[in-house]
Amino acid sequence: MTAHTCPSAPCEPGSTLLGVVGPQGTVAYLTPPLTIDDSFVATARRGRSPEKRFRFAAPCVEEHCAQWTGSRCGVIDAVLATDVRGADDEASSLPRCAIRSSCRWFAQSGAGACGVCPLVITDCR
């Protein structure tokens, strides 16, 4: 079984900095992504939550995650269920992504997940 990568992980040492949340509230992906260390985490935690400003990736922990439904990630299912853009939008070119080959959301929902992924901000509080 292939290990999957969570594209909406917390800011922790060893996680991957997947992208930056832009002024329009969408994620701009880094290529290549960067592995973050203790120093990055300490700096990022000053001020607003790092999960409001960045998107991180880390190994999917499945049943050890509050978003796990028992067989799949509930985050992408919820996002896709509320997506009002329409099917034509997801057919456009997929965003550049460094983790697609291992991404939990892509494995679970295909290109539709990629279409809404830039809209997901991990910390919306």
Q: Does the residue 90 lie in any domain?
A: yes
Range among 32-46, 71-85, 111-125 with highest mean pLDDT value: 32-46
Q: Does the residue 124 lie in any domain?
A: no
* pLDDT value, residue 90: 47
Secondary structure element (H or E) that encloses residue 44, with its range:
helix 38-44
7: tokens are: 């594209």
Q: Cα(75)–Cα(69) distance, rounded to whole angstroms?
A: 9
Q: Does the residue 107 lie in any domain?
A: yes
Among 47-51, 101-105, 120-124, the range scoring the smallest mean pLDDT is 120-124
The residue range of the domain holding 31 is 5-119
Please state, for a pLDDT cut of 90, what percent of the chain lies above it: 78
pLDDT in tens, 16-72: 999 999 999 999 999 888 999 999 999 999 988 999 999 999 999 999 999 999 999
Q: How many folded domains does the chain comprise?
A: 1
Q: Does the residue 125 lie in any domain?
A: no
Q: Does the residue 81 lie in any domain?
A: yes
